Structure 1
Amino acid sequence: MVKIAVPTSIQGRPQEYEEAHVHNVYDRIADHFSSTRYKPWPIVAQFLSDIPTGWIGLDSGTGNGKYLPIPTERPGSIFTIGLDRSHNLLELAKCAGGSPTRDVLRGDVLGDYWRLGAFDYALSIATVHHLASPKRRKQAIERLIQSVSSTHGRILIYVWATKQDELSRTSFPKKACWSNEDETRISPAGQDVFVPWVTQTSTDGSVTVEPETSKSMYMVLNRYYHMFSEGELSRMAEEAAKELDLKIGSPDEFSERGVKGLHISEEGWERSNYYLLLTRWEK
């Protein structure tokens, strides 16, 4: 089914907007959503496979926890803790990969739950784009930077892109400012949209993915997204690093001692998403 995105603007406090159009929606559709989110994205899987044995990490916005068991080729070699706001998705994440012992925490990605540098690595996959203001999106990146080791921490961030590929199941009005046919009209600040989640609900209110029956009806729930424009994510990461008094660039670019920094190790686009691989360093 093709989903048609609709431009939107934030009304009221961003936190309340997220509560109504992100958190409440995902709690309602958790089972249905999880059934469509089971295959790891290749670059994310490779990121986790490259993590050294014994490292401890954070999956911020873990959802159904599909990345918690990775790397599957050496199970148990690294330890990833899942964080999410959705109680119902976390119930699924606890058993990700068939294990009843996954460590997950219910909380906000902007929360301050751990000491600085507590983790060796962190990932945020398809989460930052659900935050309803530039300030909150930047704060989420700051939290990721703060959460990992200042000497070797690695971070992977994925966000939805204004640049959609031919396999995208979401349709965007051609006259909209983010049309792929006219990249010059895309705002450097990206675009806020509603993307519908269409499911069925029975007369008792429970969500189902079963074929339509006389006792079911369609339900459409709009999820809020901020679609990132090209370069927007890397600019935001650099701004976040500067606010944390970190140098931007490779450690080889700085000769002085006692310097802490953040290096954008890789930046790219994959399947309608922009991603960043960040590395922290200290001299």
Structure 2
Amino acid sequence: MYLVHRKERLPLGRGKYLHGHNITNKIKNGTSEPSQQIALGARPPGQLLEEEPRYFLLGLDRLASLLSLSQHIHSVPELVHGDCLSLPFRSSLAFDFAISIATLHHLLTQERRLEAVKLLLSSVKPSRPSSTGRILIFVWAHEQGQKSRRKWAKGTLLPAPELGSSPSTSSIEPDMERFEELSNLQDVLVPWVLNNNNDQKSTDKVTTYNRYYHLFREGELIELVKCAAESLELLFTQLHSNLPESTSPHLKDWCLIKRHGWEADNWWVEVELGIQVP
């Protein structure tokens, strides 16, 4: 997660969140690669921090090892150890904009995903009615492109067990005879391979970890933002939607889906936030 604040609004810091891949410490501390050979969905904390000199940026992730690695590589001190479901900031703080990449789809339940979006919406607020806050969210899509590596047929997705059960890694195998049924599942496991041996050619100490993903269907991410906004009593609307003439976004704090789309096997939304005109 990255936090960004315009420098003219320091010192309290209003910022940007980039919710990064919360890879387990075991995987991050070893030599790992996903079995489907895809890149991580988010850049390490620290890389983005060097790219925007106009802003004061903070990096936040739940993995201390990833933060330590980023600090070592990028020499960026503004890194915070935290969680997207329990942000370590005072409720009085408000940030200018947020980016959440490859995070929501790792949360196991709808309730947890909703809570994470509510925290994002609550944390981003413009400093004055004439300005707006922005949030960008990326999640893995259920609708995959032709060249996607995230395919049941390629053995890179496994059915996630029911909540509360904990079968062994070796017992989770997809039944390819049920391919059509499997292809409709949204809760899946992705095998990540950790090589504990310094000899990259050796397979003696290779361990596979199955990591949970929720694959979002078309419209699901927008509906999640809508539910979060309405639970916070924000006026929710989408660009070009028809509002009643008597309704104005400026009569109360509001949340607008500015843009949304599908890109590189991911769904994304750009959210704009505004505050009530006095």
TM-score (norm 2): 0.69
The one-letter amino acid of 1:167's match is: K
**Partner SS for 1:69:** helix
Give the one of 24, 27, 35 matched to 2:25: 27
Structure 2 CA distance, aligned partners of 1:251 and 1:281? Answer: 14
On the 8 A contact 2:196/2:207 being kept in 1, the answer is: yes
Structure 2 CA distance, aligned partners of 1:250 and 1:201? Answer: 49
Identify if the C-alpha distance between structure 1 residues 63 and 224 changes in structure 2 by more than 3 Å, giving closer, same or farther: farther
Question: Which residue pairs with 1:139 in the alignment?
Answer: 115
State the shift of 1:238 in Å: 0.1
Identify if the C-alpha distance between structure 1 residues 136 and 122 changes in structure 2 by more than 3 Å, giving closer, same or farther: same
Question: Which residue pairs with 1:128 in the alignment?
Answer: 104
Q: Does 1:247 align with 2:235?
A: yes
The one-letter amino acid of 1:225's match is: Y
Structure 2 CA distance, aligned partners of 1:261 and 1:81? Answer: 26
> Size of the alignment, in residue pairs?
219
State the shift of 1:217 in Å: 2.4
Bigger shift: residues 192-201 or 249-258 = 249-258
- % identity of equivalent residues: 32
State the shift of 1:155 in Å: 0.3
**Partner SS for 1:164:** coil
Question: Which residue pairs with 1:170 in the alignment?
Answer: 150
Structure 1 CA distance, aligned partners of 2:138 and 2:189? Answer: 19
Q: Does 1:159 align with 2:159?
A: no
Identify if the C-alpha distance between structure 1 residues 82 and 140 changes in structure 2 by more than 3 Å, giving closer, same or farther: same
The one-letter amino acid of 1:171's match is: K
Question: Which residue pairs with 1:106 in the alignment?
Answer: 81
Structure 1 CA distance, aligned partners of 2:87 and 2:38? Answer: 28
Question: Which residue pairs with 1:148 in the alignment?
Answer: 124
Structure 1 CA distance, aligned partners of 2:265 and 2:140? Answer: 6
State the shift of 1:199 in Å: 2.9
**Partner SS for 1:88:** helix
Q: Does 1:277 align with 2:270?
A: yes
CA RMSD for the aligned pairs? Answer: 3.1
TM-score (norm 1): 0.67
Identify if the C-alpha distance between structure 1 residues 178 and 123 changes in structure 2 by more than 3 Å, giving closer, same or farther: farther
Structure 2 CA distance, aligned partners of 1:34 and 1:78? Answer: 33
Structure 1 CA distance, aligned partners of 2:192 and 2:39? Answer: 17
In the alignment, structure 2 segments of 5+ residues that lack a partner are 1-20, 154-175
**Partner SS for 1:169:** coil
Question: Which residue pairs with 1:195 in the alignment?
Answer: 190
Question: Which residue pairs with 2:58 in the alignment?
Answer: 81
On the 8 A contact 2:101/2:138 being kept in 1, the answer is: yes
Based on CA coordinates, which of the two structures has the bigger radius of gyration? 2
Structure 2 CA distance, aligned partners of 1:192 and 1:112? Answer: 25
State the shift of 1:33 in Å: 5.3
Structure 2 CA distance, aligned partners of 1:165 and 1:267? Answer: 17
On the 8 A contact 1:63/1:90 being kept in 2, the answer is: no
Identify if the C-alpha distance between structure 1 residues 228 and 129 changes in structure 2 by more than 3 Å, giving closer, same or farther: same
In the alignment, structure 1 segments of 5+ residues that lack a partner are 1-21, 42-61, 180-185, 203-207
Structure 2 CA distance, aligned partners of 1:178 and 1:122? Answer: 34
**Partner SS for 1:234:** helix
- Alpha-carbon deviations, 1:197-232, whole Å to 9, x = none? 013112xxxxx5x52238x42211111111111111
Structure 2 CA distance, aligned partners of 1:81 and 1:93? Answer: 12
- Alpha-carbon deviations, 1:135-177, whole Å to 9, x = none? 0001000011011115511101111111112332232147244
On the 8 A contact 1:251/1:281 being kept in 2, the answer is: no
**Partner SS for 2:76:** coil
